[in-house]
Amino acid sequence: MCGIVGYFGNRRADSILLQGLEKLEYRGYDSAGVSILDNDSLKIVKCKGRIKNLRDKLSKNPLNGTIGIGHTRWATHGEPSDLNAHPHTNEKATISVVHNGIIENYIHLKEWLCSHGYNFSTDTDTEVIPNLIDYYYNGSIIEAVIKATQKMEGSYAIGVISSYEPDKIVAVRKDSPLIIGAGKEEAFIASDVTAVLNYTRDVYYLDDKEFAIITKEGVEILSEEGETIEKELSHVTWNAEAAEKGGYKHFMLKEIHEQPKVIRDTMTSRIVLGEDINLDGITISNDEINNINKIYIVACGTAYHAGIVGKYVIEKLAKIPVEVDVASEFRYREPMINENTLMIVISQSGETADTLAALRLAKKNGARVIAITNVMGSTISREANDVFYTWAGPEIAVASTKAYVTQLIAIDTIALYLAKLKNSLSDAEIEEIKEEMLKLPEKAEKILESKEVIQKFAAENYMHKDMFFLGRGLDYAVAMEGSLKLKEISYIHSEAYPGGELKHGPIALIEDGTVVIVLATQEKVFDKMVSNIKEVVTRGGKILAFAPEGHTEIEKSVHSALYIPETLPILYPVISVIPLQLLSYYMATAKGCDVDKPRNLAKSVTVE
Ligand code: F6R
């Protein structure tokens, strides 16, 4: 959460920082600010609210200068306000800092600095950083930053400029993402590559406790000991257009419509008829796979829901027991992990703090970790033993859509790969699944064409305060994702239940007009879902149901029905989630919600 940027070059820093912050606004959007060295003196403009407010403020107080840092905030310590907005400075306003992360020992550091004569004016943890740097400053800003970080506990990606040395930006990270963009006679720092794609696609991915010094001469990367590190420059394959709205009203709608393409892209070269599944980037040996007796899938939010689908699919196809856990729970229990455990972590951003901590815990206990992630160079991709990249392209809307479907494709592909090695499926069975997978993009396209039913249902029902989602088996896993999507962007309270649980409590909440979304794609339990539908309708519930094409009998019992093109039971989640995403989108827009930037949320949760 929070986005940071920095620029040093020959152009005006203010406009480049603003553009960068606009690209990072999905990471936090309660306040924003920039700090620029204008004629070697530090100037700061910051305010509560969106980047637009900052842009307006800057247009009234333009800042000259070609070196600066900027920040867009998701508040943790201190309410969103002009005062608590970043950048923060030392009392003399000679050192300016932007920070993403949490300084966990800030109270102790604050007391210590106060005992040395320092004064503080904000409620933030960040304010200790410029003051610590000030304390250690003795003619070298890089040395002072290195010493300050040795005192700091917690997570941080920081950018520092100082009027003492107005010819450089110093940056460092620990457990929060930070990249350095290398342009021609200019360089950038940013929380992620989308902020620099308009200017360069050549980046350095900093590792923990690596320090970057950006000067006119270029970028130098140092270790904590002050030694130069030779780092490889990576070329980003995403282009700037991929991170634009492309004519859609919202990023979320654009990303929902990109799903046929990203499903196809994620299968490309991996799923080819008549050929073995190709998992390049995954080097786990056949012996290791044969020794696996348990798989953990660990993730957060939407990625966790993809993991639940993964449990059903891997157990069914590869016959290996799978346990799924939310990363924030997994990391604080005592999971039974050893060298025969395979851990699959799923993370769109590759930066989620809890997922990263779970990965580290599993590795420490000897497990092999495969990461399914969308972001090359992300911390999770670099720390996992193997990486399966989802080719979803940049996902900008805070609510995840296209990343989720590609995570499902990744899971299906890994399950088939394991099934082949474990001999749990015949070659013919594997080919049949591959054939059906290859038809999914076309089927996703078809669902997108039938969005009128969803739009109409949303227009009639957006004013409800509560909704329920029901499903059994894989439909339940998708129901959870549909429910999360609805609540996060439309603020309608919703809950997902396995159909069979209805009678064990939730049915007490069904009354006249209660909206219930029912997924009934799984043939094996279709009749059971019809019974659940009847139980809800009898009590006055209003149902929107999703069933496979051909199951028109469902219409007799429900208010509205939408038909999902037929596929194999294990593959329905990839396409049945699409109408649920559209439903939450249309509900949210009907309510006038800010779909791409829902309140209180941030795209990348890099703090615990
Ligand atoms: C929901 C959503 C979040 C993320 C979660 C994990 O729409 O986007 O629930 O899925 O924060 O993020 P990643 O996948 O980046 O680890």
Mutate to test the pocket of ligand 1, among 26, 402, 605 (most ligand atoms within 8 A of CB): 605
- The answer to whether 603 is a known catalytic residue is yes
Q: Where in the chain is the domain with CATH 3.60.20.10?
A: 3-243
Beta strand pairing status for 466-471 and 515-519?
parallel
Q: What is the residue whose two structure tokens read 């046929």?
A: 260
Q: Which of 560, 358, 375, 549 is nearest to 453 (CA)?
A: 560
Model confidence, pTM: 0.86
Q: Tell me, what's the pLDDT at 390?
A: 96
Ligand 1 pocket, residue 253 CB under 6 Å? no
Q: In what order do the strands lie in the sheet with 294-299?
A: 322-326, 294-299, 341-347, 368-373, 386-389
The ligand 1 atom at the shortest distance from the C-alpha of residue 603 is 8
- The answer to whether 591 is a known catalytic residue is no
Q: How many CA atoms lie within 13 A of 581 on its CB side?
A: 29
Nearest CA, atom 10, ligand 1: 302
Ligand 1 pocket, residue 374 CB under 6 Å? no
Q: How many CA atoms lie within 13 A of 508 on its CB side?
A: 3
Ligand 1 pocket, residue 303 CB under 6 Å? yes
- Low-confidence spans in the chain with pLDDT less than 70: none
Nearest CA, atom 5, ligand 1: 301
Nearest CA, atom 16, ligand 1: 347
Q: How many CA atoms lie within 13 A of 350 on its CB side?
A: 28
Q: Tell me, what's the pLDDT at 605?
A: 84
- Tell the CATH superfamily of the 251-438 domain: Glucose-6-phosphate isomerase like protein; domain 1 (3.40.50.10490)
Q: What is the residue whose two structure tokens read 């929070």?
A: 2
Ligand 1 pocket, residue 301 CB under 6 Å? yes
| The two structure tokens encoding residue 608 | 């615990």
Q: Which of 260, 262, 280, 284 is nearest to 270 (CA)?
A: 280
Of 434, 451, 542, 603, which residue is the catalytic one?
603
| Predicted confidence (pLDDT) per residue in 239-290, tens digit | 777 778 888 999 999 999 999 999 999 999 999 999 999 987 788 888 888 8
The ligand 1 atom at the shortest distance from the C-alpha of residue 604 is 15
DSSP 567: -
Distance (angstroms) between ligand 1 centre and the Cα of 229 equals 33
Ligand 1 pocket, residue 375 CB under 6 Å? no
8 A C-beta contact, residue 305 and residue 327: no
The ligand 1 atom at the shortest distance from the C-alpha of residue 301 is 9
Q: Tell me, what's the pLDDT at 61?
A: 87
* Residue 187 burial (CB count, 10 A): 26
Rounded alpha-carbon distances, angstroms, from residue 142 to 10, 168, 493: 22, 10, 49
Q: Tell me, what's the pLDDT at 244?
A: 82
Ligand 1 pocket, residue 355 CB under 6 Å? yes
Distance (angstroms) between ligand 1 centre and the Cα of 350 equals 10
Q: Tell me, what's the pLDDT at 242?
A: 76
The ligand 1 atom at the shortest distance from the C-alpha of residue 348 is 14
Q: Where in the chain is the domain with CATH 3.40.50.10490?
A: 251-438, 448-591
DSSP string across 103-131 = ETTHHHHHHHHHHTT----SS-STTHHHH
Distance (angstroms) between ligand 1 centre and the Cα of 301 equals 5
Distance (angstroms) between ligand 1 centre and the Cα of 367 equals 24
Nearest CA, atom 7, ligand 1: 399
Distance (angstroms) between ligand 1 centre and the Cα of 352 equals 8
The ligand 1 atom at the shortest distance from the C-alpha of residue 299 is 16
**Each residue of 15-35: b (16+ CB within 10 Å) or e?**
ebbbbbbbbbbbbbbbbbbbb
Ligand 1 pocket, residue 300 CB under 6 Å? yes
Q: Tell me, what's the pLDDT at 284?
A: 85
Ligand 1 pocket, residue 602 CB under 6 Å? no
Distance (angstroms) between ligand 1 centre and the Cα of 210 equals 27
The domain 448-591: what is its CATH number? 3.40.50.10490
Of 2, 46, 254, 311, which residue is the catalytic one?
2
CA–CA distance, 344 with 358 (Å, rounded to integer): 10
Ligand 1 pocket, residue 302 CB under 6 Å? yes
Rounded alpha-carbon distances, angstroms, from residue 575 to 156, 321, 378, 439: 38, 25, 28, 11
Q: Tell me which architecture the domain covering 3-243 has in CATH.
A: 4-Layer Sandwich (3.60)
Q: Tell me, what's the pLDDT at 211?
A: 98
How high does pLDDT run on average in the chain?
94
CA–CA distance, 315 with 71 (Å, rounded to integer): 45
8 A C-beta contact, residue 467 and residue 584: no
Rounded alpha-carbon distances, angstroms, from residue 512 to 157, 191, 540: 52, 48, 4
Nearest CA, atom 11, ligand 1: 301
**Each residue of 421-447: b (16+ CB within 10 Å) or e?**
bbebbeeeebeebbebbeebbebbbbb
Distance (angstroms) between ligand 1 centre and the Cα of 602 equals 9
